[in-house]
Amino acid sequence: MNSNKSAATVLIVGARSDIAQALAHTYGAIGANLILAARNVSTLEPLRSDLILRYAISVVLIEFNLLAPVPEGLVKRLPLLPDTVVMMAGLLGTQSDSVARPDVADVVMQTNYVAPARLLLAFAAAMESRGNGTIIGVSSVAGDRGRASNYIYGAAKAGLTAFLSGLRASLTHSGVHVLTVKPGFVRTAMTKDMKLPAPITADPEEVADAIVRAARARKNVIYVRPVWRAIMTIIRVLPESVFKRLNL
């Protein structure tokens, strides 16, 4: 393996998702070394081999359960403190299951907000001590306003969005940058049973490219397709009396 020891190192948490794997290829193509953290990480061995063969980079696999009692313990388990941390972990679930079963709702909320926030807090502290770094959190347009169809998931993503905003502000003078990503609809395994409108639906590769470009430009918040900013602006400003009657 001919890895470049001077290259940037990127940690992707939740590396088994379609977007995460596309992101691994996008970062690999620009020469970044990778640390991929996920449950059942052995399933990523084919991806690891492909990345090494294609890009001659270092790829380390870390078995990691975000819902472990102390998710922030991952920081000490890593071979080094990465230059960039990307929080890709997420769980859509179904609204009906979350409403009917508190344990299911808890897993959705823990996976999308509580555990990611705890882990990113730990990385933020370590990067602040070092004086540099990039934290990328993948949130969702679902967090822009609670909608009847997915308010459990949306509320958790709203929490993550607010957390990332506060973290970004608190690290303004630290050398650590925080990017919030709101993909909108994406064609992935998580959405395979949903009827998604093509004009506002992205592919994982499009999301990955947008993330890398936004991180390089040190942007604060991006909607992967700009149309989503307009859509969610309209949804946010609707009067509550109107909004609650809509089938959204």
User: On the CB side of 175, how many CA atoms lie within 13 Å of its CA?
Assistant: 10
Residue 135 lies in a domain: yes
Residue 200 lies in a domain: yes
- The reported pLDDT for the residue numbered 86 is 98
Residue 144 lies in a domain: yes
pLDDT(6) > 80:
no
Which one, of 190, 222, 221, 224, lies nearest residue 206 by Cα?
224
Catalytic residue, candidates 27, 55, 113, 153: 153
Helix (H/G/I), strand (E/B), else coil: 94: coil
- The reported pLDDT for the residue numbered 169 is 98
Q: What is the mean pLDDT of residues 57-68?
A: 96
- The reported pLDDT for the residue numbered 191 is 74
Q: What range defines the domain where residue 170 resides? A: 9-243
153 has catalytic annotation = yes
Domain count, the chain: 1
Average pLDDT, the chain: 93
Q: What is the mean pLDDT of residues 217-236?
A: 95
Q: How many residues does the chain have?
A: 248
Residue 4 lies in a domain: no
Long-range contact set of residues 103-110: C-beta below 8 Å, sequence gap at least 24: 105/152, 107/67, 108/152, 108/153, 108/156, 109/152, 109/155, 109/156, 109/159, 110/67
User: Are 117 and 67 within 8 A, CB to CB?
Assistant: no
Q: What pTM value is reported for the model?
A: 0.93
Residue 3 lies in a domain: no
| Residue 64's pLDDT band (cuts 50, 70, 90) | very high
Residue 121 lies in a domain: yes
CATH code for position 31: 3.40.50.720
Residue 248 lies in a domain: no
Q: What is the DSSP letter of 14?
A: S
